[in-house]
Structure 1
């Protein structure tokens, strides 16, 4: 098997029938998790601190998502790249208006993607890419912040396995993309000499991932159980919990992860991928 270049997740190694999510599935997921965030935030004090985003209050979380969806929609629709909204300076209005504010922003983005066409090439911070990039990016940003709201409210967080798996794949793609270290200098610490981490979903037939730390940067490949077990450290958990662990919403212990091999490699990875 030829190793992929850094910034590329080799979907060709996934088991038969596992395909990248299409625009319709991404749009469905965006609606579900936007509504989930709104439901989790309902009835809470807007000034409630968000424990998984220590610098934010609940109103910052809601304002960030509401404005991010609209910002991405404007970019897709007009091609204009406006200033990225600052969550701590975004006022989402009264809490009873939050559900409509959030749902309308998600609908605006979906409409922009459908109107422009998912394959239309637009600006992204990784270079020109199809507009569906922003639908995928906003879905996964929203789903993780849905988890933040759920953790803040003390209510369960659920995510479909295909969406959780795609969120992990996207995160690996973004962090290993050329130029990512200029946004997040800590990523340079993930260069290595061939050390490997295996991520193995414990639920269903989903493929896992093997991350290889090379001198030029890390690369990620889809992999089956035999390959993840052969890694220097293998982390096994339901895919939802792998996502929460990798985004540092839960520690490995809180995620119920089974860890085999060099635990220090995992701890180093988590320490240098925090955003």
Structure 2
């Protein structure tokens, strides 16, 4: 994890980037990496998530609440302002409560700070969705991409558990000891850019560092992030796969949000 001051600053930056894209793009523009969605629906998803998490934190809730339906403003200026307002509500709620405030989450981390980190990474991926739809080659600092990879592996670890109690597109990741290694090739990262993943009957587990693996996927951290979030495929991402390619293909097929 990063320092929370960094999350606050980067969350504001990401929101500004997505708000600009939302302002300058036809709300009916299809988002190919989110099949069936338009730009309006993408913005609605992000803004609704901000407001939902903000309410959980503001009320110090220890149980989940339903997500409310939202109406995304049609006017471009209002649409961008609406998105920015939701992000500000979430950031302000975390600041007021403190990142360590206990609240409900669906992860092992049951703190307000979880929601800032989770919604930041959710917004990063959806900003890439918007850019990919427009043919823009987006960018992200390598350390933020590394944190995003860890975040999506945390998600996979929870959603691959067989007794989670809700339908999950990650259930097929449970296995019998198969090992995968993800390696970020950005030269400045070192050991923080390596993830060792093991599939077990109880779901997947992961840790930083290098271990012998059945398949290894190497590439820039941002490409690993987009690959694990299914925004790029093994064919379109700038990655090298060595070992058993079928094992990674199985992972990719069975990691659907």
TM-score (norm 1): 0.85
Q: How does 1:93-132 map to 2 (within 5 A)?
A: 93-126=74-107, 129-132=110-113
Q: Aligned with 2:90: secondary structure? A: helix
* Cα pair 1:121 1:128 within 8 Å, conserved: no
Mapped to 2, the partners of 1:148 and 1:187 lie a distance apart of: 21
Aligned-residue CA RMSD (Å)? 1.9
Mapped to 2, the partners of 1:73 and 1:200 lie a distance apart of: 34
174-183 vs 39-48, which deviates more? 174-183
**In the TM superposition, what is the alpha-carbon distance from 1:201 to its structure 2 partner?**
0.2
- In the alignment of these two chains, the number of paired residues is 250
**In the TM superposition, what is the alpha-carbon distance from 1:106 to its structure 2 partner?**
1.2
* Cα pair 1:122 1:128 within 8 Å, conserved: no
Is structure 2 residue 174 aligned with structure 1 residue 191?
A: yes
Write out per-residue CA displacement over residues 86-126 of structure 1, whole angstroms, 9 at most, x where no aligned residue: 5xx64343222222222221111111101011111011123
Is structure 2 residue 199 aligned with structure 1 residue 213?
A: yes
Q: Aligned with 2:204: secondary structure? A: strand
* Cα pair 2:184 2:221 within 8 Å, conserved: yes
72-81 vs 117-126, which deviates more? 72-81
**In the TM superposition, what is the alpha-carbon distance from 1:150 to its structure 2 partner?**
0.7
Structure 1: give runs of 5+ residues left out of the alignment: 1-19
Structure 2: give runs of 5+ residues left out of the alignment: none
* Cα pair 1:194 1:212 within 8 Å, conserved: yes
Q: Name the residue aligned to 2:214.
A: 232
212-221 vs 33-42, which deviates more? 33-42
Structure scoring higher RCO (CA < 8 A, sep ≥ 6) equals 1
Mapped to 2, the partners of 1:59 and 1:251 lie a distance apart of: 25
Q: Aligned with 1:183: secondary structure? A: coil
Q: Name the residue aligned to 2:14.
A: 33
